[in-house]
Structure 1
Amino acid sequence: MTIRSVLLASLLAGLASCTAPQAVPRQDVADHLAVRPLKVASWNLEFLAERNGTGCEPRTDVDYAAMRRIVDTLDADVIAFQEAENEAAAARVFDPSRYTIVMEKRHGVASGSCGGKQPGQQFIRQAVGFAIRKGVPFDRNPDVTTLQLGNPQLRSGVDIRVRAPGHQPTRLLAVHLKSGCFQGDRAQACGVLQQQVPVLEQWIDAAAAGPDRFIVLGDWNRRLAEAGDAVWTELDDGNPANADLRLADEGVTPQCDPRYRSFIDHIVFDRRAAGQSSGFAEMTYAPGQKHLSDHCPVSALVSG
């Protein structure tokens, strides 16, 4: 299904009516999850601001409403998101009656102008978080602030443990790594990314030695599926055994933007979760359709 078809269906039904799939009533969440896998997703929201007309991707009420319809149609149980200014901004896309929003506690520094993309507009804070379906119990672990490398402009990771009814406990880490080192090691940003990789590996190795299966998902800003990618090789070393990782998008070519042949938004399963995962999907924009973000949502399923 394309995002264009989602929006068209909503418009035909009447913008004044509630056309999105209905939220699962809280008392029925256990039954809902007991009969289907846990659906996890990630979406970089591209400078999602709290207020209309602000940030490097200024939006209108119509844009925010369209983004919320996309989330409703995605119908994921847990969504990692990136580039939201604050909880109020996230709530414009993730319906608070359906989702609990948790975000990194890093304050960040919103400074500088957007340049040629939006002359005169100012940067906003870009933060990482999760939207978790109401009624799905979860615990929040301390943010992985070491991913910041002491720099308030770099994002920390958000670490939660989901205890979905009918499923094993699952630990999830939402990340947004340094941009600009999409492959190889020669770009200026690669030095920073290369410092984040061992920090992330430390978290992975500790989680792999723990009792719960885990998933790392978000905007990695790296084409991990490229043959021989050094970052993927370092992380996917199988030591400890549960650090034998799997890319949900392995073997899939992205369709979100024809300029790109490989994903940078990834859902990565540990060995335990990989054996119960399936159904990777990308929700795409149709040709000519307005891109409400420069990224498309990706999702996957994990059962058991």
Structure 2
Amino acid sequence: MVKPLIALTLSAVFLLGCVGVTPTREADSLKIASWNMEHLAERDGEGCSPRTEADYARLRDHAAALNADVIAFQEVQNKAAAERVFDPALYDVVMSSRPTSTRSGECRGRPGLFIQNQAVGFAIRKGVPWTRNADLNALALGNPDLRWGVDVTVSHGRPVRLLAVHLKSGCNSGREPTDPDCPVLFDQLPVLEGWTEARARDGEAFVVLGDWNRRLASRGDAFLSDLNDGDPEGSVLNLASGDQAAGCKARYREYIDFIATGAAATARLESGSFEEYVYGGSAEADHPSDHCPISVRIRG
């Protein structure tokens, strides 16, 4: 009886292995994440956050530990930089089509280092069906240094439309018209609202995720309030982080990175699936980026 039992056990293991083709998925869900990678450059020693090969190796390890099917990323120089972290044998890398930024000055507080292109994109695990939609280039407001939104549709069962964004920095709260950054951010609002409303009218499940550079979860935030006017039905955005405090940096307890879901996508969120990945609990000084990835699971 021993041999049949062993054979049965091995068969069960084999069948489980066949079922678990994509180990990150639980049942019929996809893990979707956002990660600002802090000036990720193509080459060692360049950009405002110069890195060594060992640093890129650590980032690859963290990407593996994050274990997401789809990652919206920000502050990445180009596709080659992204592929230093997201192995092209494992991921499809989708980059913004925006021409390379003209900014080239010294990095703030880092003499001798020069700012490089900051682009938005996605890393999509091989085997996840996806299609690309036109970039939301209007988010740049005609400014070659503002970021475009990157728009993809992924499918694991039912499709979900994802827009990766990196909005204007410098206006993380309030609406002060004398602040040069706030009018720019609020000029981006109707562009973003136009996209979310179009998705709602078409009955699509959609998610906007990335670095919003804004404390949207603050009570009565003007930006989110304007965005969530409730017209049309289904366009109101839900912040997947809810009222959780951020844990990435001791100084900053409010998120500025968000995964925001429209009504149809909100209905497909796995309860309690929101996570902030704080680099395995490593000391803040050892974090490989000044942002921590966030993620949720969405059912197919």
TM-score, normalised with respect to structure 1: 0.87
Deviation at 1:35, TM superposition (A): 1.8
1:113–1:119: 8 Å Cα contact kept in structure 2?
Answer: no
Which residue does the alignment assign to 1:216? 208
Q: What's 2:52 paired with?
A: 60
Distance 2:18 2:222 in 1: 44
**CA distance in structure 2 between the partners assigned to 1:81 and 1:107 by the alignment:** 17
Does residue 1:174 correspond to 2:170, yes or no?
no
Asked whether 1:206 is paired with 2:202, we answer no
Distance 1:31 1:80, change over 3 A: closer
Deviations 1:191-243 (CA, angstroms, capped at 9, x unpaired): 10010001000000001111320000000001100000011111122211111
CA 1:31/1:176 → structure 2, altered by over 3 Å: closer, same or farther?
Answer: closer
Q: CA deviation at 1:99?
A: 0.6
The aligned counterpart of 2:242 is 250
Name stretches of at least 5 consecutive residues in structure 2 with no aligned partner: 1-16
> Secondary structure in 1 aligned to 2:198?
helix
Once the 2 structures are TM-superposed, how far is the Cα of residue 110 of structure 1 from its aligned partner?
4.2
What SS does the corresponding residue of 1:239 show, helix, strand or coil?
Answer: coil
Distance 1:246 1:116 in 2: 34
Shift of 1:263: 0.4
The code of the aligned residue for 1:160 comes to V
Query: Partner residue of 1:121?
Result: 113
The aligned runs of 1:273-284 (5 Å cut-off) are: 273-278=265-270, 279-284=273-278
1:29–1:136 CA contact under 8 A, matched in 2: no
Task: Report the CA distance between 1:27 and its aligned residue.
Answer: 10
Shift of 1:254: 0.2
Q: Do the aligned residues in 2 keep the contact of 1:82 with 1:219 (CA within 8 Å)?
A: yes
Q: Of residues 263, 272, 290 in structure 2, which corresponds to 1:294? A: 290
Distance 1:31 1:86 in 2: 28
Letter in structure 1 aligned against 2:205 = R
The 5 A counterparts of 1:1-304 are 29=21, 33=25, 35-164=27-156, 167-186=157-176, 187-278=179-270, 279-285=273-279, 286-304=282-300
Q: 2: CA distance between counterparts of 1:27 and 1:123?
A: 46
Structure 1: unaligned runs, 5 residues or longer: 1-24
Alpha-carbon distance in structure 2 between the residues aligned to 1:116 and 1:238? 40
Instruction: Calculate the aligned-residue CA RMSD, in Å.
Output: 1.9
Q: 1:183 corresponds to which letter in structure 2?
A: S
Once residues 197 and 228 of structure 1 are traced to their aligned partners in structure 2, the CA distance between those partners, rounded to angstroms, is 16
Question: Does structure 2 retain, via aligned residues, the 8 Å contact 1:101–1:131?
Answer: yes
Instruction: Measure, in 2, the Cα distance between the counterparts of 1:210 and 1:26.
Output: 36
Q: Say if 1:215 and 1:267, in contact at 8 Å, map to a contact too.
A: yes
- The alignment partner of 2:94 has SS state of strand
* Larger of the two Rg values belongs to structure: 2
Quick one: which amino acid aligns to residue 140 of structure 2? Q
Residues 223-276 of structure 1 show CA distances to partners (whole Å, capped at 9, x for unaligned) of: 100000011111122211111221011110001011112100000011111122
> What residue identity is the alignment partner of 2:291?
H
Partners of 1:227 and 1:258 lie apart in 2 by 21
Shift of residue 40, structure 1, vs aligned partner: 0.3
